[in-house]
Chain A
Amino acid sequence: MKRSWRFFPALWTAKLTTAVLRLFHRNATHLPGLVALKLCPTFLGDIGKPKTIIAVTGTNGKTTVCNLLDDILPDCGVQPLNNRTGSNVNGGILTTFLNAATLTGRVKEEMAVIEVDERSALFVFKYMQPDYLIVTNLFRDSFKRNAHSEFISDILNQAIPKKTKLIVNADDLIGSRLAPNNDRITFGIAHREGDWEVRQNIVCDMVACPYCNTVLEYDFVRYNHIGRAHCPKCDFASPSVHYEIIAVDEEAAKLTVRTPRGEEQYRMIGDNITDWYNTLAAVTMLRVLGFDEQTIEQSLQKQQIVKSRFERIDIGDKAITMLLAKGQNPIACSRAFDYIRRTEGKKAVILLIEDYYDAKHTSENVAWLYDADFEFLNDPSVEQIVIAGVRAADFRVRLLLAGVDDSRIVCMREEVATADAVDFERVDNAFVLFDVYTTMFADATRERLENRLNGQNEEVSQ
């Protein structure tokens, strides 16, 4: 392999940077990669790579799919290189390869599972051509960074190398149409009872046929544009599905998947449809790689959704549910709201999803609140909605427009104090929705809720 003369000086300097950062107990998950890039712009292309590279991108679910692959592959006999502890943008991905490389620039791992932020794909795929690219889904995301899903699709279409085989969600008419000339394997979930005939979400980025602009007819809608559709005027339609969940046994926690090799059964991780899509994406990838059904299933038995994303704590006959909702991501929040309304029992919802950094420096653009389905919280089972932060007044207006009665809304400035506002006389389950940058508030709120419930239980037992 012909490398830039800058490569080795960059490699050694960046490794030295890592050592110094670690000496001072600092995270060395991003900066060393940027140092390498500064010294050698082609560093990612020049560094050694595993024989097989799997990249995972998409608006929602990419971290979960990567985590599943990273956890299952060792049970299949493969120890993958991954960017689990680093970021999914240029610096983090560069640092992942840097840390794995020897002083001669070689990487010993045979396989890599790399999570790639959609906007980083242009740079990353220029120098790291993945053999497989899993696209979980494409939706509207942060307006300020991602603009709209067509902008992100265009970036990915420019970035995806011709030889890369795609693993795409057939139920996503945006993601499944990426790089139309590339080989692809599709996964999806067959029509289920409870799927909608008419969309209930505010946002749908796939309303009209991309060829003739005729309004599409949805055979079923699961959420937003996730579902199956066809154009009544031309032959545009959802693609055929190679790996399809055809039955769900919620009691036995089993997913039945129709595959090109016949029906297979896998453990259901989580009770949310997005968990099933993520599991299916990982299973599809592993089956395409040739790993056997039994090994995958045995490994799935050990897996769970990481607690930083979902955790339910039962105390007596009450519960606290921690749910990562990702602020400024209207689809992720809508999924969380839908999950809450579908959960049994009377509920309180604590919203800690305003943008932490915007609150420090500027005034958050609240437009995204109006693409998120707060209407799902206008449900008789949601007794209280407690909002904290500088944007509480904006959340209140949004909830009122969603039809929520003002008497159910509590606004306050201090985040952790929200725990004191939950009326456990009226609710069975307190949901705490938080962003990736507000976990400190969420943890403190959970602790305060736990203390309250434990105190109540002690009083009862005395």
Chain B
Amino acid sequence: MTIEILFPEHANLFGDMSNMRYLQACLPDAEFVRTPLTDTPYFVNHDVDLLYMGPMTERIQQQVILALMPFADRLRELIDGGTPMLFTGNAMEVLGNTITLEGGNTIHGLGILPLNAKQDLFHRFNSLILGRFAPVQADIVGFKSQFTSATGDNADCAFLKTERGIGLNRQTHYEGFFKGNMIATYLIGPILVLNPALTRWLLDTMGATDAPLAFEDAVNDAYARRLAEFCDPQVDVEY
């Protein structure tokens, strides 16, 4: 089983690399390929069982787009072929059409997702998210912390329909994208650690149906407590 982590020296903000550490605990025999920004991604010439990229700084995001642009068609092919992928935080924007920068300039993303993002570096948006992931009918809990909001047509292919917290922007409850087996989401942090049902789905989709969830009891206990908090209307969504 091969898991490629794209550009981990840069795309590692907000504790997101914990998702890979958790998968490593679930799949101790899996091979993790860590591709630096200066190298050709492994997925270009090989099949992978999971492709992952975490959040990065706004400056690095532009370099990542340039680095991946020659391989956009290959990414599309893998998505259409059902390769599991996870893009978290502003890694999702890399796959989109455009990013409008703070100064007003617009840069182009890979054009894989119908997403247009806009930076606002003077206002950071922090929020809890509670939403439903349709394939397993599970409530997903997570956090957003970002400078951007986005518009995009994701009503038919959203990762989550939120019950608390916003979607791509304040006007929608549709959060992120779910296409083939690719998840792209603004959620940051240890989303696989926080959401045992999502991790179970991912492992099953990767073909690791026999792999147990690491620390399953503890993870389920923490999830149940968080879900109860997130469902409590007294708990503020924006933090």
Interface residues of A (CB under 8 A from B): 140, 143-145, 147-148, 150-151, 202-203, 207-208, 213-215, 330, 358, 361-371, 390, 393-394, 396-397, 400-401, 406
Cβ of B48 within 8 Å of any chain A Cβ, yes or no, is no
Nearest chain B CB to A172's CB is how many angstroms away? 17
Nearest chain A CB to B99 CB, angstrom units: 16
Would you call B229 an interface residue if the criterion is a C-beta within 8 Å of the partner chain's C-beta atoms? yes
**CB atoms of A215 and B9 under 8 A apart:** yes
Please give, as numbers and ranges, the residues of chain A lying within 8 Å of B214 by CB-CB distance: 400-401
- Asked whether B4 is an interface residue with its Cβ less than 8 Å from the other chain, the reply is no
**How far, in angstroms, from A208 to B189 measured CA to CA in the complex?**
22
Whether B37 and A213, one on each chain, are in contact in the complex, defined by CB atoms closer than 8 angstroms, is yes
Distance, CA A147 to CA B102, complexed state (A) = 15
Q: A208-B37, A363-B128, A366-B189 are in contact. Are A397 and B15 (CB under 8 A)?
A: no
Complex Cα distance, B145 from A151, in Å, reads 13
A365 near B37 (CB under 8 angstroms)?
A: no
Assuming the contacts A144-B239, A151-B121, A358-B239, asked whether A397 and B222 have C-beta atoms less than 8 A apart, the reply is yes
Interface stretch of the complex, out of B131-139, B173-181, B230-238: B230-238
CB distance from B24 to the nearest CB of A (A): 9
Which 6 A/B pairs are nearest by Cβ-Cβ distance? A367-B189, A370-B15, A370-B18, A367-B15, A207-B9, A393-B222
When chains A and B are docked, how far (Å) is the Cα of A37 from the Cα of B230?
A: 38
Whether B215 contacts A400 by the Cβ 8 Å rule is yes
A-B contacts counted at CB < 8 A amount to: 114
Q: Which residues of A contact B12 (CB under 8 A)?
A: 203
B40 to chain A, nearest CB (A): 14
Question: Which of B10, B15, B59 sits near A368, CB closer than 8 Å?
Answer: B15
CB-defined contacts of B226 to chain A, threshold 8 Å: 363, 394
Interface of B is mostly: mixed
Contact across chains for A397 and B38 when beta carbons are under 8 A apart: no
Give bound CA distance, A358 to B13, whole Å.
Answer: 21
Instruction: Mark each residue of chain B from 146 to 167: 1 if its CB lies under 8 Å from any CB of chain A, else 0.
Output: 0100000000000000000000
Q: Does B96 contact A (CB under 8 A)?
A: no
Q: Which residue of A lies closest to B8 (CB)?
A: A207
Q: Which chain B positions have C-beta within 8 A of A368?
A: 15
B183, chain A: closest CB distance, angstroms: 17
Residues in chain B near residue A367, CB distance under 8 A: 14-16, 18, 143, 145, 188-190
Evaluate contact between B21 and A208: CB separation under 8 angstroms: no
**Nearest A residue (CB) for B215:** A400
Q: Which listed residue, B21, B36, B143, B219, touches A365 by the CB 8 Å rule? A: B143
Query: A147-B124, A367-B189, A368-B15 in contact; A401/B22 too (CB < 8 A)?
Result: yes
Chain A residues positioned under 8 Å from B63 (CB to CB): 213
Contact indicator B10/A144 (Cβ below 8 Å): no
Shortest CB–CB separation between residue A232 and chain B, in angstroms?
Answer: 12
In the bound complex, CA of A207 to CA of B236 (Å): 37
> Could you say which residues of chain B place their CB within 8 Å of the CB of A358?
239
| B194 surroundings in chain A (CB, below 8 A) | 366
Closest Cβ of chain B: how far from A390's Cβ, in Å? 8
Q: Are A397 and B219 closer than 8 Å at their CB atoms?
A: yes
Distance in angstroms from B232 CB to nearest chain A CB is: 9
Complex Cα spacing A397 to B213, Å? 12
Known: A144-B124, A363-B239. A370 touches B219 (CB 8 A): no
* Of the residues B10, B15, B189, B239, contact of A207 by C-beta under 8 Å: B10
